[in-house]
Amino acid sequence: MWRRRTGGASGGDGRDLAERSADAGAGMSGAAEPALTIDALGRKCPIPIIMLAERINQVAMRDVIAVLADDPAAFTDIPAWCRLKSHEHVASYELPHGGWSIHVRRNY
């Protein structure tokens, strides 16, 4: 089940990226399908933000990027980075086995 997460948690699993990406896209009817998924599970902040900053220009304007992260700092730092850089934090979805899929829309 997907639900908006308000607290921190850590975790991760041994599943491969394709399986985690499929989970990240499940149950999000009405939400934009991510054009790119960045797997930052198991990485500590600021690495998820650095990975996002390096790859955000690889998608078209107004496309959505999903950042998979399980570091509690990423849950708050990625939306803050979006505000700082004038991109849109679309939503954060809890992953079934810990962490979040944090969706960012490229604005420029």
Among 36, 45, 51, 73, the active-site one is 45
Burial of 80 (0-12, 13-18, 19+ CB in 10 A): exposed
Q: Could you confirm whether 82 is annotated as catalytic?
A: no
Half-sphere exposure of 66 (CA within 13 A, CB side): 26
What three-state secondary structure class fits 37? strand
Burial of 42 (0-12, 13-18, 19+ CB in 10 A): middle
Q: Tell me, what DSSP letter sits at residue 77?
A: H
Tell me which residues are annotated as active site.
Answer: 45
